[in-house]
């Protein structure tokens, strides 16, 4: 269930497969110029980012993303299915090969809600280590929230008002209230709700999502999300005209692409975009009124995402209800970038 934030412990780092052990972070020097790797294995996606530090940031050397649906069926069985684990191991094998070929010296790999909830989550982690060499760290929700904020907070609109950053995942949604004083970002509170695009979709079932009951299913999903955010909403400060909102997830990047009517996804256009809230609401409502086939025909949604985007819209609208900023900032960055920044900062780089 959802919990309030506590200060997350500093994460340990693990060696990339096939690389030698490194000295402790506090002994590392920027002149060593490590190549860093970050893997985020979520309920729906497996993502990899490989980068090298440069002046004030980092340069991406390689990346990888694949929809694996690790959490498929988890809400019914409380276990990761054999097919889902096989898909995830296949994707992680690709990641392990890229880490080796790019000579990654320092890497951290994290798993989130699906592995947290699954009775066989640790068995899966053991299998991944044995078959790929990747050591997955099942992180708690507060660490997931911290890494997401670290990875994307620089895309917030300028301003002095309170800011809310959210990450709609496959199995959960993290909400983080932050302050920014003197250029420093501080987490005031956070909330983890047990609904993500996969878990919320499965709460209705494929027939409801793809059939004539789709509009009613959307209303029910939106109400579940609203209820899950209610206690957190009660703790939020009084709203003002300068509140800010930033989202990092496949839901917000997909809807931003629909907003711009892109023929195909373009990260350079989407990452850092600010979209009027009413435009995002209109898109969410429009998608809820489409048939499944009409939704799948949209270029930046397609058949692979059509069954999950409805739940993402429901969660997004519930967030807009509790934090009605003027614009929604869109980030195509998050946990992986947060991992990289954390490791590089501990090695003395100024990011």
Domains of the chain: 25-142+335-346 (3.30.420.40), 151-331 (3.30.420.150)
173-201 pLDDT, tens digit per residue, is: 999 999 887 778 889 999 999 999 999 99
The predicted pLDDT at position 160 comes to 79
Residue-wise pLDDT for 35-88, tens only, equals 999 999 999 999 999 999 998 789 999 999 999 999 999 989 999 999 999 999
Mean pLDDT within 215-227: 96
Residue 106 in contact with residue 36, Cβ under 8 Å? yes
pLDDT for 271 equals: 97
- The two three-digit tokens of residue 15, written as one number: 């060696």
The confidence score (pLDDT) of residue 27 equals 40
> Which residues fall within 8 angstroms of residue 82, CB to CB, at 6 or more apart?
none
> If you search the block for the tokens 């985007």, which residue do you land on?
309
Radius of gyration of the chain (CA): 19
Report whether pLDDT(9) > 60: no
Lowest mean pLDDT across 16-30, 94-108, 128-142 = 16-30
The pLDDT confidence band at residue 171, using thresholds 50, 70 and 90, is very high
Range of weakest confidence among 99-108, 168-177, 178-187: 178-187
* pTM over cut 0.85: yes
Mean pLDDT, rounded, of the chain: 89
State both tokens at 5.
Answer: 């934030």
pLDDT (average), residues 86-110: 97
- Which has more pLDDT, 206 or 297? 297
CB atoms within 10 A of CB 235: 11
What percent of the chain clears pLDDT 70, i.e. is strictly above it? 91
Q: Is the pLDDT of residue 239 over 80?
A: no
Supply the DSSP symbol for 16: P
Quick check: 11 pLDDT over 50? no
Closest CA to 203 of 181, 189, 224, 188: 224
With bands split at pLDDT 50, 70 and 90, how would you rate the model's confidence at 32? low
Are 117 and 38 within 8 A, CB to CB?
no
Question: Distance (Å, rounded) from C-alpha 254 to C-alpha 168?
Answer: 12
pLDDT score of 143: 96
Which pLDDT tens digit goes with each residue over 311-344? 999 999 999 999 999 999 999 999 999 999 999 9
User: What integer pLDDT is reported at residue 56 of this predicted model?
Assistant: 77
Q: What is the pLDDT confidence band of residue 14, given thresholds at 50, 70 and 90?
A: very low
Over residues 141-150, the mean pLDDT reads 95
User: Does residue 153 register a pLDDT over 70?
Assistant: yes
Pick the range with the lowest mean pLDDT from 45-54, 130-139, 299-308.
Answer: 299-308
Judge whether 300 and 262 are in contact, CB under 8 Å.
yes
CB 209 within 8 A of CB 292: yes
**For 258, phi and psi rounded to 5 degrees?**
-65, -40
What is the structure's pLDDT at 13? 39
């Amino acid at each position: 269930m959802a919990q309030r934030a506590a200060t997350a412990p500093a994460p340990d780092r693990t060696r990339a497969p096939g690389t030698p052990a490194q000295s402790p972070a506090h002994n590392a020097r920027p002149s060593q110029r490590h190549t860093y790797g970050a893997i985020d294995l979520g309920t729906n996606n497996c993502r990899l980012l490989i980068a090298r530090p440069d002046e004030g940031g980092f340069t991406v050397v390689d990346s990888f993303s694949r929809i694996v649906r690790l959490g498929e069926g988890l809400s019914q069985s409380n276990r990761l299915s054999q097919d889902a684990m096989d898909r995830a191991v296949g994707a992680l094998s690709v990641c392990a090969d890229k880490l080796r070929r790019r000579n990654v010296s320092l890497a951290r790999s994290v798993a989130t809600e699906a592995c947290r909830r699954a009775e066989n989550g640790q068995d899966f982690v053991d299998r991944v280590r044995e078959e790929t060499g990747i050591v997955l760290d099942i992180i708690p929700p507060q660490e997931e929230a911290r890494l997401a904020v670290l990875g994307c907070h620089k895309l917030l609109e300028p301003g002095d008002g309170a800011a809310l950053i959210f990450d709609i995942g496959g199995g959960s949604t993290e909400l983080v209230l932050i302050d920014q004083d003197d250029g420093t970002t501080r987490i005031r509170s956070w909330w983890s709700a047990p609904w993500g695009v996969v878990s919320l979709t499965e709460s209705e079932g494929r027939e409801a999502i793809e059939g004539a009951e789709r509009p009613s299913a959307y209303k029910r999903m939106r109400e579940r999300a609203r209820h899950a955010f209610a206690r957190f909403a009660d703790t939020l400060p009084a709203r003002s005209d300068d509140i800010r909102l930033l989202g990092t997830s496949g839901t917000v990047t997909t809807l931003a692409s629909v907003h711009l009517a892109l023929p195909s996804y373009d990260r350079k256009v989407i990452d850092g975009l600010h979209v009027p809230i009413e435009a995002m609401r209109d898109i969410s409502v429009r998608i809820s009124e489409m048939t499944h086939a009409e939704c799948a025909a949209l270029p930046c949604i397609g058949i692979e995402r059509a069954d999950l985007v409805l739940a993402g819209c429901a969660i997004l609208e519930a967030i807009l209800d509790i934090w009605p900023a003027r614009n929604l900032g869109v980030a195509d960055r998050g946990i992986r970038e947060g991992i990289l920044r954390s490791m590089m900062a501990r090695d003395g780089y100024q990011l």
